[in-house]
Amino acid sequence: MFGPLTVKPSESKGDKTGSWRTLVRPNYLHKDCIACRMCLMICPEGCVKGKEKNAFSVDYTFCKGCGVCADICPKKDIEMVPEEPKEGDR
């Protein structure tokens, strides 16, 4: 008999840590982006995707709103904006 033991990456969907955001979320302006990819590299969640200029985006299912991407962007093309109230928020 076996109980909980191993997990394959395909079996794991991850926790929806986007629900952690309460104050701010990143807003990608898509104006001055030079596709340096620093935002993609620095995200602790690895939830920034993109390849072309002005075409990088965040997966808000996982983004925790830490703001490091906005801080690292050399063109200040990412701003932290107030988080939208979610269902269930008062």
Partner 1 sequence: MENSPLFKSGHTACAGCGQAIAARLVIEAAGANTIIANNTGCLEVFSTKYPETAWGVPWIHSLFENSAAVASGIEAALIYLGKKDVTNVIAQGGDGSTGDIGLQALSGMLERGHDILYVCYDNEAYMNTGVQRSGLTPFDTNTTTSPSGVRSSGNLRPKKPIPEICNAHGIPYVATASAGYPQDITRKVKKAISIKGPKYIQIHVPCPLGWRHETNQMLPVAKLAVETGLYPLFEYENGVLVNRKQIVPKPVEEYLKSQGRFKHLLNNPEEIKKIQEIADNNIKKYGLKVEA
Partner 2 sequence: MKEFVEGSHAIAEIVKACQPGVISAYPITPQTHIVEDLAQMVSNGELKSQFVNVESEHSAASVVLGGSATGVRVYTATSSQGLFYMQEVVFNIAGMRLPVVMTCANRAVSAPINIWNDQQDSISLRDAGWVQIYAEDNQEAVDFHLIAYRLAEDKRVMLPVMVCMDGFILTHGMETIDMPEQEKVNKFLPVYKPLYKLDTAEPMSMGLLADPDYYMEARFAIQETMKESVGYLSEISSEFKAVFGRDYKDLLVEEYHTQDADKVIVAMGSVCGTIKEVVDEQRAKGKKVGLLRIISYRPFPYARIYEALKDVPRVAVLDKAVSLGAYAPIAVEIKAAFYGKKKGPKVISSFVAGLGGRDITLESVHEVLRRLTAKEINSDFIDLKPELLKEEYGK
Question: Which residues sit at the interface with partner 1, rule CB under 8 A?
Answer: 4, 7-9, 11-17, 20, 37-38, 40-49, 51, 59, 61-62, 64-68, 70-72, 80
Report whether 69 contacts 48 (CB < 8 A): yes
- Pick from partner 2, partner 1, none: which does 64 bind, CB < 5 to 8 A by kind? partner 1
Rounded Cα distance, 36 and 26, in Å: 17
Which residue's CB is nearer to partner 2, number 1 or number 23?
1
Minimum distance, C-beta of residue 37 to partner 1, in the bound complex (Å): 7
Binding-site ranges for partner 2 (CB under 8 A)? 1-9
The DSSP code for 31 is S
Report whether 29 contacts 77 (CB < 8 A): yes
Minimum distance, C-beta of residue 15 to partner 2, in the bound complex (Å): 13
Residue type, 86: K
Largest Cα separation within the chain, whole Å, is 58
Minimum distance, C-beta of residue 17 to partner 2, in the bound complex (Å): 16
